Chain A
Amino acid sequence: MKDPACMSFKEIKKLLKTKKLGYREIWESVKRKIEENEEYINGYITLFTEEVEEDVKKLDEKGETPSEKKPLLGLFLAVKDNIAVKGKPLTCASKILSKYVSPYDATAVKRLKNKGALIVGKTNMDEFAMGSSTEYSAFGITRNPFDKERVPGGSSGGSAAVVAYGGAIASLGSDTGGSVRQPAAFCNLYGFKPTYGRVSRYGLVAFASSLDVIGPIARSAEDIMEIYKVIAGWDENDSTSLAYPLREPRDLKFKGLKIGIIKETMEENHPKVTRVIEETLKNIEKMGAYIKDYSLPLIKKSVAAYQLIAMAEASSNLARYDGVRYGLRVKKESIEEMYKETRGEGFGEEVKRRVMLGTFVLSSGYYDRYYAVAVSYRNRLKAIFEDIFKEVDFIITPTSPTPPFKIGEKKDPISMYLSDVYTAPFSLIGYPSITVPSSQIAENGFKVGIQITGGWLSDEDVIKLGGLIGESCC
């Protein structure tokens, strides 16, 4: 039998139901993986080993198996450290929140716990989710389990790395401009960004509120669907949460399916990324799908628009970390000095850069030149994609233009921002996207992430197609 820590939740559930596997065996296997890998990978900031031990003991004593009421029993889950878990540290990988403990559960966490999931720990990330490599963490960098000289992606790099090495069966991340999809792709996993508003943001520390979404990372599309169905749905604590009921996915088949391709997303990639995507498309076409090409030069500017909006919102959201209400306080004579010193001491390099730029683009004389232009771009992009989705069912692009890059390779902030070039457009428009690992190895053990995006609120269909493509043609 395969090591339980490396199984998908679907496989685990089947074995638990038939009593061929117990909770203790899964936990021992997960724990062993953590012991073997964590010192070097550094995927977790906090581990809840003692609580999990207790929970596993109780589950084994009860002999309860996954049921309709508790479908997630046996799901050992990791949670990104910007999502609140009651009574546990919530650091956002920042010095400014290093001693902060959350007094409540995020809605997504509460729903998962209620359905039987066990939280193994909180994962490392780029500070306040600002980054694409998990190099900007006050708790040290996270390494990619497939090649320890390379990054796991970011900002949910810890959430992807721990699932990749077997330190959790699945995880929760947050995606503002690609922070679930890009690390999932860099660690050969599935990662899903739901439609904006589909999953409650209550308990997710705000970075860019009009873009932030909580999403799962897992080893199969079925696992993504199982988690998504629990965390999605209206929540009275989030005024942006959508009140539409969940639905079953369409009966999707490749025959007759209309897939859109954007020419500009196939041009400036690592050659192996483009090759794998082209082969996937050929296979899909052979199975009866219809491929339609689009030219959309505007898409190349999406990172600039995304960063402008995200920085502007971040500068406002992070104003609350002033040493008065949360976390770190550097003691000074005057309150103004205390504010300045606390923020100077508590924030890392990338956070300072973004807060400064965000304030700058919102200031008088620059607001219209930068922020208003980015908002206008966002509206234009949304209108264009609304038109495109009248003609096709889904859009396929690479998730990232390159395979995982080396630690320390991207010194220039703009080159780091450009890692999000294919994920940011779909964050700006708020549509659901999944990344699916190709079956072919592109380079050094790394697969290529295939990004599938559907129309607004087509989340279930996007996950379903992700499963079909992952199983059959990439």
Chain B
Amino acid sequence: MEKTKYLSLLAKIKLKKEETSKLEEEIEKIIEYFNTLREKYEYREKEEMVCREREDIPEKSDIELKDLTSHFENGFFIVPPMVK
């Protein structure tokens, strides 16, 4: 299914220079923390994944984490299709 591209208004925020570097640093740490959700865990003597690994998860994104604040300046995000 083709992806829908549009200028996302909800992403628009003007950031001050001093905010940008602080936010970039913090957001990187928070995303790292979110990655822990993908680790396996033990429940009732069974090793489980929270979410089954799927083959169709896109390998790449058009947005790199390091460029996140500039994307907010431009308000540009690629939104995945609503129905998969």
Contacts and interface: CB of A to CB of B under 8 A. Distances in A.
A, B co-complexed: yes
Interface of A: 295-298, 301, 304-305, 307-308, 315-316, 318-319, 322, 336, 339-341, 343-345, 347, 349, 352-353, 355-357, 359-370, 372-374, 376-377, 380, 384, 412-414
Contacts of A353: 23, 26-27, 30
Contacts of A365: 58, 60-63, 78
Given A301-B36, A352-B23, A364-B58, 9 more contacts: A305-B50, A307-B34, A356-B27, A359-B8, A360-B65, A365-B60, A366-B61, A368-B58, A413-B26
A298 B51 CA distance: 12
B12 A336 contact: yes
Contact of B79 (A297, A340, A347, A363): A363
B80 A360 contact: no
Given A318-B10, A344-B13, A368-B57, A360 B63 contact: yes
Interface string B32-56: 0110111101110000101110101
Contacts, number: 143
A322 B15 CA distance: 15
B43 A298 contact: yes
A376 B36 contact: no
The 4 closest A-B pairs by CB, nearest first: A365-B61, A344-B14, A319-B10, A376-B51
Contacts of A308: 34, 37
B12 A357 contact: no
A330 to B, nearest CB: 9
Contacts of B51: 372-373, 376-377
A349 B57 CA distance: 32
B43 A357 contact: no
Nearest to A297: B41
Contacts of A412: 26, 29
A344 B27 contact: no
Residue from A298, A344, A359, A368 with most neighbouring chain B CB atoms (10 Å):
A359
A377 B10 contact: no
A318 B69 CA distance: 18
A345 B14 CA distance: 8
Contacts of B26: 353, 412-413
Contacts of A304: 33-34, 36-37
A279 to B, nearest CB: 29
Nearest to A360: B68
Contacts of A301: 36-37, 39, 41, 50
A359 B10 contact: yes
25 contacts: A304-B33, A304-B34, A322-B9, A340-B73, A344-B14, A344-B15, A344-B16, A347-B13, A352-B13, A353-B23, A357-B30, A359-B10, A360-B27, A360-B65, A363-B80, A364-B3, A364-B80, A366-B61, A366-B63, A367-B80, A368-B54, A369-B38, A369-B57, A376-B51, A413-B26
A296 to B, nearest CB: 7
Contacts of A367: 80
Contacts of B38: 369, 373
A343 B27 contact: no
A368 B52 CA distance: 11
